[in-house]
Structure 1
Amino acid sequence: MDGLSMSVQYVKGVGPKRAVKLRKMGINTVEDLIYFFPRGYEDRRKFNNISNAVNGEKMSFRVSISGRPNVLRPRRNLSILKIPVKDNTGMAYLTWFNQDYLADNFRIGEKLTINGKVKRIANEIQIQNPTYEKEGSSNKKVGRIVPIYSLTDKLTNNEMTLIVNNALKSYISNVKEIFPKSIIDKFNLISVKEAILNIHFPQSREKFLKSRQRLVFEELLTLQLGLFIIKNKTKSNNKGISFERVDELKEFIYKLPFTLTNAQKRVLKEIERDMESYEQMNRLVQGDVGSGKTVIAVLAMFKAWKSGYQSTMMAPTEILATQHFETIKSMLKDYDIRCELLVGSLSQSKKNEILADLKNGNIDILVGTHAIIQDNVKFNRLGLAITDEQHRFGVSQRAVLSQKGLNPDVLVMTATPIPRTLALILYGDLDISIIDELPPGRKIIETYSIGIGMEKRLIEFIKKQIKEGRQAYIVSPLIEESDTLNVKACEELYERFKGEVFKDFEVGLLHGKMKAEEKEEIINEFKDGKVDILVSTTVIEVGVNVPNASIMVIYNAERFGLAQLHQLRGRVGRGEYQSYCILINEGKSKISQERMRIMQKTNDGFKISEKDLELRGPGEFFGTKQHGLPDLKIANLFTDINILKIAQKEAAEILNSDPYLEDAKYKLLKEKIKDMFKGKTDDIIFN
């Protein structure tokens, strides 16, 4: 055991009880602890005079105790400990709440360094709940830059700082340099040991910036190398299908009731080129809501059918799968192509019939949910595997789908636009196509942010629109991550609207806990115009396409991310009528106001996603665990975009000369990549 892989329990100051708390935070080994980086810092280096104490600010002082402790008890269950202190400029009181026991820790005349929040009450200066150190103490909590860690479970920042400090003293010498000298010299990097020491306990701002740059670059280069290796290995190992050139595709496109945009034509060419080559296609098509990704998928399926192969499309929900099934069937109705839908709510007899026909080759296109990747689903000659809304599926699920055939071409679609550089990280194993143009004639959705106080005016506006023949979605408040609570809120809103507010109209209810048949029935009634207002949870975020619906109302819009608000807005504006999105915002924070401003200002999904990344951070926006990607410990995919670009360029150069890092100088870097991707990619790397 090299020390780093040893249980965190044996670090000085941890022990069995604290080890349990640390494990809940994902810290199991010494290495986990050393790489558990601070989320922020507090600069306690500047000492102030008491006479310059600023009300409301955290400040550091050098003081001596000038009097005896005094404990006040203004009411039951509250005690206030006050200890008088002074410096050359004035006096103040160290104040603690419900911590009387601290009174015995101090003696008149003792010198302290302290850091705490200043509170001026009348002529009295208080330093509340201060961190303190006695003269001669070796435990530096004041007078330095102090790390602030993300903590849970009754572990204090002081405890964590002490534990990390002990771990670094004992084990930093065990950390190995994974970069060869050539990379360190090329990018003028400081050593990894110095970087780790200064990321936890920075000696200066300059040292901190150099340390962070070093660790971010290491993390992003390791990640990018791993993704490029997966991509290269997939391509070299997997001889794909060479599909025929299909001249009838032009005729098929000519018969469409609309003209393809230039962006759609460009992406179709890229897909055709991939399908006709002998390499397996692994391509991501990303485009904004309504940019026309589905028709591109249908054209690829048509090409596969003409070449004698089956196709499949997997969607994350039954609603979306059903929507795709109906669209595909309608577009291919003039051809002898059999499409079927496989979802969990089908009867067992219908499932058995589909499975038998699929295996015998009697089904050309199968659309469904993750039911498609179950073991009992066998294709006769699968040539094309498509996943829609890729952010809902992990890497491994995509891999399982592609294993349903003999290296079928893989097409991945997403309506979550993200900048290309970031897409290279999230979809590093895929080639990327972007549909960055909306079909002509689509009206801009007018978006407004209002307070709950304007609900009455909004209701009158909805009634007026419905009387003119339109329909409306109303998305209920997002309470929290609990489905049960969100459904309850949705049902309460539905009851109020149906029984009181919109009693003269038909109001429907849709949420994720309903049975599949109930969902399908209500969606069909909404499509057919039998329901005027559909009250729903975010289950309608993708897949519901009703051209007559012109109003989207979202309650508690401040609780949603920008990308999700944009997806929800995309449910309207699909027909000839002017459409509206009304965001009911009860948030008072600057971020909440900024989100609403962005939604009102632009309909461009790429701009919105960049802002979402900036405001929410990449972890929340991407949900990297869903992608099957390794967790990033320090790099931020948005703010570190410049380092990411450098890392991508360097990774490409390294692998260009040494595709599988076989040179001895890359030995430790190779191990780091393996470790980073452990359990993420079915051991594709370096097998």
Structure 2
Amino acid sequence: MNEKLRKAGIKDILELALFTPASYHDYRIKDFIDFEEQLFEAQILKKQKLQKLQKYQAYAKNIQKEIALIFFRTSSYHDYTFIEGATLYIGGKIKKSFGELQLIQPQKVANYKVGKIFPSYKIKIRGDIFEELKSHYLTKENLQNTGLPEDICERLLKIHYPDEEFYRGFKRHGGFYGKYLEALKFTEAFRYMKGLKTKRIYYPSLCKVEAILDPFYEQLPFTPTSDQRKALEDAKSDLAKSIAARRVIVGDVGSGKSLVMFGIAHMVGKKRAILMAPTTILATQLFEEAKRLLPSSLRIALVTSQSKEQDLEDFDFIIGTHALLYRKLPKACVVMVDEQHRFGTEQRSKLKKLVESQEGSPHFFQFSATPIPRTKAMMESSLVDFSFIKELPFKKDITTEVISKEDFKRLLIHIKNEIEQDHQVLIVYPIVEESEHYNYKSLEEASSFWMRYFDGVYYTHGKDKEKEDILQEFRDKGKILLATTVIEVGISLPRLTTIVIVGAENMGLATLHQLRGRVSRTGLKGYCFLYTHDKNNKRLQEFSKITNGFAIAELDLKYRKSGDILSGKEQSGKMFQYLNMAEDKAIVERAKALLDQ
């Protein structure tokens, strides 16, 4: 691609095709006045300097009439451009005023634009140079060489080299429309997935495992769900390949992703698996659960920042926090990352590299508790493989209600009733300290109220160095926990039945769903109260009626654009200018099918 285009941010043919005109101008010469923007071939007759404006009398050859060119702001440019006797092409909308035909602030039109419907681009390249580059690179042959279908290529070319039919439609619809808009959407999806495909690197795997799952299932004290079995079958198929797997296993809150982790560790056996979790509490819980569900012949280690140095070569399944990144790790067949969005891309790749060798790479499995929309998953599957765990081991009974200030007394009565039944309550605040920019009480401001009226109140937040000890103590002794969204991922609280989320309208739906997933983990009746100053908030009202995380992911997509699944970052800005992932599933399917051929 030309250097000038690269500097303007256009790196390839598809990006050039998607760099669409901001507007179109009809610079064809007509021999009549249509009182719309049109082009005149005008000879300057004389110049008049008036009090607040400059006026040029001119003869428009194409309509054979005299016209007045009116400028309210002039510079030396006008003096050396609009010279008496000069013939110029002038663009503008004509009107009748004071008995004469006038053009107000008309534009001089360059010769290369004359005689056609001309697309106008917002680009820092001189117009004639950009047109030359465009005509050189943006051809049907070049577009087809990218892999785009012929019909899409033809529509894209119409956008950049418009004809009368397209131009009239663009004006009528006030923008790109119909099959042309569809072509832009298709091209965005196609380019994005094609880019991901080129990023996918296939490494030889450090080990191949021909596993049988039945021995694992037979020693479990319960029956796995069909989705858990399907995810384990996917992993079994991956482990049997000589190419290192890269799979994201996405499961709703409470869907039993940990069972899949243990199933993978069981299949790998003595060839070793490593699992990294985001907190000491979570790593410890996984360690305890693994010891309960895996055979004693598998030696399991727990590595945290408090752990003593030990020779990890002696263990088959190593579970730890980010402390793993600072230990000498033995070669492992499998690396797993739980709650993968809690770790940066660098941390995840560092863990994988710690066990890589010249022989190859470990099979890499990432687990996410943030369900994602089908369309988004379909697009990202060009880079990684996906498994979905949608089925829950038991149906949760959680009532979600949007409440505000007038409901507070009723909320207090509910909290007292739950505590009397030896249940626990979690209240999530959006900020730790008082802020003049926030119209909700902070965690610190609210703590005095709850401590005054209730016993067994604990509070913690993200920067609290003792938060894991506090959560552990609350689990055993506490009644009410005041926290920030740090609680979104962490300790299992079997007695937790009620969560109150303050300032809920300021949180993403995925975060709200994660928080709601903290309650009713053992089958108890659960309650989620969304406390807001905007009780009629449509987004919260819709959320309160949906419990399925994957349906919420679709709803979240409707209200805000999703981001990078692999990094876990959400973005409120637009990833695509034209493609709407909430509505354009069929277009994405067609683009993916073409790329997969």
Superposed pair shares fold, TM > 0.5: yes
Q: Tell me which of 548, 551, 554 is aligned to 2:501.
A: 554
In the TM superposition, residue 504 of structure 1 has moved relative to its aligned partner by 3.0
Which residue of 2 is the match for residue 55 of structure 1?
none
Q: Distance in 1 between matches of 2:211 and 2:145?
A: 50
Partner of 2:487: 540
Aligned counterparts of 2:145 and 2:12: Cα–Cα separation in 1: 26
Which residue in 2 is equivalent to 1:412?
A: 366
SS at match of 1:4: helix
Residue 568 of structure 1, CA deviation: 0.6
Distance of aligned partners of 1:169 and 1:486 in 2 relative to their CA distance in 1, 3 Å threshold = farther
Whichever residue aligns with residue 604 of structure 1, its letter is N
Does 2:226 match 1:262? yes
Q: Secondary structure at the match of 1:443?
A: coil
Q: Give 1:408-557 correspondences, 5 Å limit.
A: 408-440=362-394, 442-477=395-430, 489-498=442-451, 500=452, 503-515=453-465, 518-528=466-476, 530-557=477-504
Q: 1:330 to 1:520 in 2, by over 3 A?
A: farther
**Shift in Å at residue 478 of structure 1?**
5.5
Is the counterpart of residue 645 in structure 1 residue 574 in structure 2? no
Does 1:219 find its partner at 2:188?
Answer: yes
For residues 269-324 of structure 1, the C-alpha deviation after alignment (integer angstroms, 9 at most, x for no partner) is 2222322343323222212111111011112112222xx22211123444433443
Match of 1:321 in 2: 283
Aligned-residue offset at 1:444: 1.8
CA deviations over 1:183-227 (Å, ceiling 9, x no partner): 555334346565368899955538713554333322321222233
Find the counterpart in structure 1 of residue 331 from structure 2.
Answer: 381
Cα distance between partner residues in 2 of 1:455 and 1:169 = 67
Whether contact under 8 Å (1:284, 1:412) holds in the other structure is: yes
Say which of 546, 553, 556 aligns to 1:609: 553
Correspondence for 1:672:
none
Letter in 2 for 1:294: S
Residue 173 of structure 1: CA displacement? 3.4
Secondary structure of residue in 2 paired with 1:551: strand
Q: Structure 1's 251 and 643: CA in aligned 2 closer, same or farther, altered over 3 A?
A: closer
2:273 corresponds in structure 1 to: 311
CA deviation string 1:498-552 (max 9, x = no partner) = 2x3xx3321111211111xx11111111221x11111111111122211110001
Indicate the residue corresponding to 1:669 in structure 2.
Answer: none
Task: Indicate whether 1:174 and 2:133 are aligned.
Answer: yes
Q: State the TM-score, normalizing by the size of structure 1.
A: 0.63
Aligned sequence identity (%): 31
Corresponding residue to 2:106 among 133, 137, 140: 137
Tell me the equivalent position of 1:4: 4
Contact 1:507–1:535 under 8 Å retained in 2: yes
Once the two structures are superposed, the pairs formed by residues 255-404 of structure 1 within 5 Å of their partners are 255-305=219-269, 308-332=270-294, 334-342=296-304, 346-347=305-306, 350=307, 353-354=309-310, 357-358=311-312, 361-372=313-324, 374=325, 376-393=326-343, 397-403=347-353, 404=355
| Aligned pairs (5 A) from 1:648-687 | 648-653=592-597
Distance in 2, matches of 1:390 and 1:496, equals: 36
Task: State the SS of the aligned residue for 2:4.
Answer: coil
**AA in 2 matched with 1:492:** E
Q: Deviations over 1:127-169 (max 9, x none)?
A: xxxxxx97253399xxxxxxxxxxxxxxxxxxxx995497555
1:118 equivalent in structure 2 = none
Give, in angstroms, the shift of residue 615 of structure 1: 1.2
CA contact 1:224–1:425 (8 Å) conserved in 2:
yes
**Partners of 1:458 and 1:197 in 2: CA distance:** 63
Preserved contact between residue 486 and residue 537 of structure 1 (Cα < 8 Å): no
Q: Structure 1 stretch 453-462 or stretch 206-215: which is displaced more? A: 206-215
Q: Shift of the alpha carbon at 1:586?
A: 2.0
Letter in 1 for 2:106: S
Equivalent residues of 1:449, 1:600 under 8 A apart = yes
**SS of the counterpart of 1:618?**
coil
* TM-score of the aligned structures, taking structure 2 as reference length: 0.72
Report the Cα distance in structure 2 between the residues aligned to 1:387 and 1:487, rounded to whole angstroms.
Answer: 35
CA contact (8 A) 1:268 1:296 kept: yes
The answer to whether the Cα contact below 8 Å between 2:498 and 2:527 also exists between their aligned partners in 1 is: yes
**Alpha-carbon distance change, 197 to 504 in structure 1, aligned in 2, over 3 angstroms:** farther
Other structure's SS at 1:527 match = helix
Q: Distance in 2 between matches of 1:31 and 1:186?
A: 15
Please give the secondary structure, in 1, of the residue aligned with 2:333: strand
SS at match of 1:581: strand
Is the contact made by 2:375 and 2:582 (CA closer than 8 Å) also made in structure 1? no
Spell out the pairing of 1:221-260 with structure 2 (5 A cutoff). Answer: 221-231=190-200, 233-234=201-202, 237-246=203-212, 250-260=214-224
Residue-by-residue CA offset, 1:90-139 (whole Å, 9 max, x unaligned): xxxxxxxxxxxxxx979xxxxx99xxxxxxxxxxxxxxxxxxx9725339
In 1, Cα distance between equivalents of 2:412 and 2:19: 50
Residue 317 of structure 2 aligns with an amino acid whose one-letter code is I
8 Å Cα contact 1:319/1:520 also seen in 2:
yes
After superposition, what is the alpha-carbon deviation per residue over 1:397-453, rounded to whole angstroms, capped at 9, x for unaligned? 54443332342122121122223442132343322222221113x332111111122
SS at match of 1:433: strand
SS at match of 1:602: coil
Q: What CA distance in whole angstroms lies between the structure 2 residues aligned with 1:293 and 1:478?
A: 30
Q: Which moved more, 1:361-370 or 1:465-474?
A: 361-370
Aligned AA for 1:426? E
Structure 1 SS opposite 2:387: strand
Instruction: Give the match for residue 176 of structure 2.
Output: 208
Can you list the C-alpha shifts for 1:349-401, whole angstroms capped at 9, x where unaligned? x46x14xx12xx023323334443x4x53322301111122334465654443
Amino acid at match of 1:506: G
Task: Pick closer, same or farther for the CA change 1:497–1:258 going to 2, 3 Å.
Answer: same
Secondary structure of 1:259's aligned partner: coil
Structure 1 runs not aligned, ≥5 long: 9-26, 42-67, 70-103, 107-111, 114-132, 141-160, 654-687
Alignment check: 8 A CA contact 1:402 1:408 kept:
yes
Q: Kindly state the Cα deviation for residue 587 of structure 1 after the two structures are TM-superposed.
A: 2.8
The match for 1:148 is: none
What CA RMSD, in Å, does the superposition of the two structures yield over aligned residues?
4.4
C-alpha change, 1:286 and 1:39, in structure 2 (3 Å) is: farther
For residue 187 of structure 1, give the secondary structure of its aligned residue in structure 2: helix
Residues 7-18 of structure 1 aligned to structure 2 (within 5 Å): none
**For residues 474 and 567 of structure 1, what CA distance do their matches in structure 2 show?**
14
DSSP-derived class of the 2:314 partner: coil
CA contact (8 A) 1:562 1:612 kept: yes
Whole-angstrom CA distance in 1 between matches of 2:403 and 2:565: 25
Q: Would you say the 8 A contact 1:329–1:339 is kept in 2? A: no
CA distance in 2, matches of 1:290, 1:649: 33
CA contact (8 A) 2:14 2:143 kept: no
Matches of 2:21 and 2:299, distance apart in 1: 56
Unaligned runs of 5+ in 2: 24-50, 53-71, 75-91, 94-101, 110-119
Matched residue count = 503
| Range with bigger deviation, 413-422 or 565-574 | 413-422
